[in-house]
Amino acid sequence: MENFQELKQLLSQPKKIVLIPHRNPDGDAIGSTLAMSHYLAKLGHECEIIAPNDFPKFLKWMEGARKIGIAEYNPAKCRIQIEKAELIFILDFNNISRIDEVGDWLQRSTVPKVMIDHHQDPDQFDYMYSDVNLPATCQMVYNFIEAMGHLDLIDKTIAECIYTGIMTDTGNFRFRNTSASTHRVVADLFDRGIEVDKIYNNVFDTQSPNRLKLLGLVLESLQAMPEHRTAYMHLTREEQLEFSSQKGDTEGFVNYGLGINNFVFSVIFIEDQQHDFIKISFRSKGNFDVNNFARKHFNGGGHINAAGGRSDLNMEETIQKFRELLDIYKEELEEVTL
Ligand code: 5GP
Ligand code: MN
């Protein structure tokens, strides 16, 4: 961050600060906003986190998670908090368009905005720490606190939030951008008292029986296309209703397709429960760029190996469109080395 000293100066006086994660916040989005807000509170700031919409139960055990304002449920209150903010942190996303009406409120606000994020093609903000090579915004929050000279302020609570974001965004430390520096950060979090078994249990082993049944249904729908090294799955609205699918229940399902020998591309199509569109998750291995794929064909984006998008066609038409696209990418998929 070129103007880091100026930001440091801004943070030397107590302020009302609002922190915002992206829509459908994941472990890194919630972990980074919580870690940063606990840290800023220690500096004497008054912090509020405002999420555009709700997030899964498996992230609500983190300290402060239940105090996060949900704009979808309390729009008036959240809008006023943004109006009153003297400084705004934008974490784990970099495009105002990713946060719906919260983005409109943000655009009306003239206070300085700080963006810390690892996605590609950031919008312009007053203070920016952008690094697409880092696997998690939580690792960047750690780096930020270190640059502030405040590593000693990272207590067990903050360390747990940072670990959760790094653990989830690296797929439990297995994606290619997981590095020695990631592990060094995590080693320091251990020194600050984290208990990994507790965190892992809270995030992964709190599922309902229905979620596993829903997974069964999704795996049943799996179509394997060995000649394209691709697997895709789908889930309709009715199926979600049948197993009373909750927010976050489908998280991680898409990864199963990458477990097939030699496969490099996995996709899941999930019909939205309220609105007429299909939410799509893309995952890949190696240099097959799903960010590019999602941007170009499905109005989305993300990272090289994990991206999301949407389709306004129905399920059948969406899958048809996808299958036709696959033929165009056949050679590229064949060439991926593992
Ligand atoms: P997921 O498939 O878990 O929803 O998203 C995977 C990754 O892609 C995440 O990093 C997420 O932030 C990003 N992503 C998901 N949906 C969209 C989208 O509609 N637009 C953009 N730009 N990124 C997305
Ligand atoms: Mn992230």
User: Hey, whose CA ends up nearest to atom 19 of ligand 1?
Assistant: 300
Find the ligand nearest to 22 CA: 1
Q: Residue 20 Cα, ligand 2 centroid: separation in angstroms?
A: 13
Q: How far apart are the first and last CA of the chain?
A: 34
31 lines ligand 1 (CB under 6 A): no
Domain 4-204 CATH superfamily: inorganic pyrophosphatase (n-terminal core) (3.90.1640.10)
User: Hey, whose CA ends up nearest to atom 21 of ligand 1?
Assistant: 301
Q: Residue 279 Cα, ligand 1 centroid: separation in angstroms?
A: 10
266 lines ligand 1 (CB under 6 A): no
- Please give the chain's pLDDT, 338 residues, in tens: 889 999 999 999 999 999 999 999 999 999 999 999 999 999 999 999 999 999 999 999 999 999 999 999 999 999 999 999 999 999 999 999 888 899 999 999 999 999 999 998 999 999 999 999 999 999 999 999 999 999 999 999 999 999 999 999 999 999 889 999 999 999 999 999 999 999 999 999 999 999 999 999 999 999 999 999 999 999 999 999 999 998 889 999 999 999 999 999 999 999 999 999 999 999 999 999 999 999 999 999 998 999 999 999 999 999 999 999 999 999 999 999 99
Q: Residue 45 Cα, ligand 2 centroid: separation in angstroms?
A: 24
**CATH code for residues 209-334:** 3.10.310.30
Q: Do domains 4-204 and 209-334 have the same CATH topology?
A: no
* Strand, coil or helix: 92: coil
- For helices 156-169 and 180-191, what crossing angle results, to 10°? 150
25 lines ligand 1 (CB under 6 A): no
Q: Domain locations in the chain? A: 4-204, 209-334
**Distant-in-sequence contacts of 291-300, Cβ < 8 A, 24+ apart:** 291/120, 293/325, 293/329, 297/321, 297/325
Q: Report CA 264 to chain centroid distance, whole Å.
A: 21
- Whole-model pTM? 0.92
Q: Residue 297 Cα, ligand 2 centroid: separation in angstroms?
A: 22
